């Protein structure tokens, strides 16, 4: 599939859905059961320059800002997400530089600059993992740190059958698979 077609599909999904309903993919959560409080992967970020890849609506940037990071930068493929992040961070009294771009592409981010580049549940959307990792390496200053989280591939192999977890697919099968839509009840 043409990569620009994938970017369009991807950004229009996030433009429409957003991530407001997904609580466990926002720092301090790295995912369902893993938190920064417990793992201390970042530790003390005061005075540090931070870049989030796939920053969504800015809640993880808020977390870093409240922990006194010196600079907050975020990038995301979805214009709506960037707009929401802008509004959210302004409401929180935080300033951030936000860029709308696919993570796969060159987008005027400074190189050799950041203490931390991180991504919470966004990196798996890339169409070019190696290229994206190379770009991320270029944004980091010497001895800078890259932290990311993504769901474990075993999730796609397990189904709930009569309240028991059953394997319905080989862990080594990398073919396309579909995901059931998530329905969220408005509160």
Ligand X SMILES: C[S@@+](CC[C@H](N)C(=O)[O-])C[C@H]1O[C@@H](n2cnc3c(N)ncnc32)[C@H](O)[C@@H]1O
Interface contacts to ligand X, rule CB under 6 A: 10, 14, 19, 22, 25-26, 54-57, 59-60, 76-78, 81, 102-104, 120-122, 125-126
Mapped onto helix, strand or coil, the DSSP state of residue 103 is coil
Looking at beta carbons only, is 105 or 157 nearer to ligand X? 105
Q: How many other C-beta atoms are found inside a 10 Å radius of the C-beta of residue 94?
A: 16
**Residues in CB range of 10: below 8 A, 6 or more apart:** 77, 102, 125
| Shortest distance (Å) from residue 120 CB to ligand X | 4
Looking at beta carbons only, is 119 or 140 nearer to ligand X? 119
Q: What are phi and psi of 73, to 5 degrees?
A: -125, 140
Residue nearest to ligand X (CB): 56
Can you name the residues that pair with 166 across neighbouring β-strands? 159
Cα 79 to the chain's mean position, in Å? Answer: 15
| Shortest distance (Å) from residue 167 CB to ligand X | 26
Which residue's structure tokens are 């189904």?
159
Looking at beta carbons only, is 64 or 164 nearer to ligand X? 64
| Shortest distance (Å) from residue 173 CB to ligand X | 24
Looking at beta carbons only, is 104 or 170 nearer to ligand X? 104
| Shortest distance (Å) from residue 112 CB to ligand X | 21
| Shortest distance (Å) from residue 119 CB to ligand X | 7
Which residue's structure tokens are 């698979």?
177
Looking at beta carbons only, is 57 or 115 nearer to ligand X? 57
Nearest to 15 by CA among 65, 45, 46, 57: 57
């Amino acid at each position: 599939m043409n990569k620009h077609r994938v970017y369009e599909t991807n950004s229009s999904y996030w433009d429409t859905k957003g991530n407001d309903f997904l609580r466990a993919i926002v720092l301090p959560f790295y995912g369902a059961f893993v938190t920064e409080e417990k793992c201390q992967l970042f530790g003390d970020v005061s005075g540090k320059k931070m870049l989030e890849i796939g920053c969504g609506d800015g809640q993880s940037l808020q977390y870093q800002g409240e922990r006194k990071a010196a600079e907050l930068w975020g990038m995301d493929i979805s214009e709506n997400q960037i707009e929401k992040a802008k509004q959210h961070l302004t409401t929180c009294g935080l300033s951030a530089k936000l860029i709308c771009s696919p993570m796969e592409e060159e987008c005027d981010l400074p190189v050799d600059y950041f203490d931390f580049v991180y991504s919470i549940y966004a990196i798996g959307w890339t169409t070019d993992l190696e290229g994206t990792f190379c770009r991320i390496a270029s944004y980091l200053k010497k001895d800078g740190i890259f932290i990311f989280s993504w769901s474990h591939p075993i999730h796609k192999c397990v189904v709930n059958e009569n309240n028991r977890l059953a394997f319905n697919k080989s862990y080594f099968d990398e073919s396309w698979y579909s995901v059931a839509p998530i329905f969220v009840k408005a509160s």
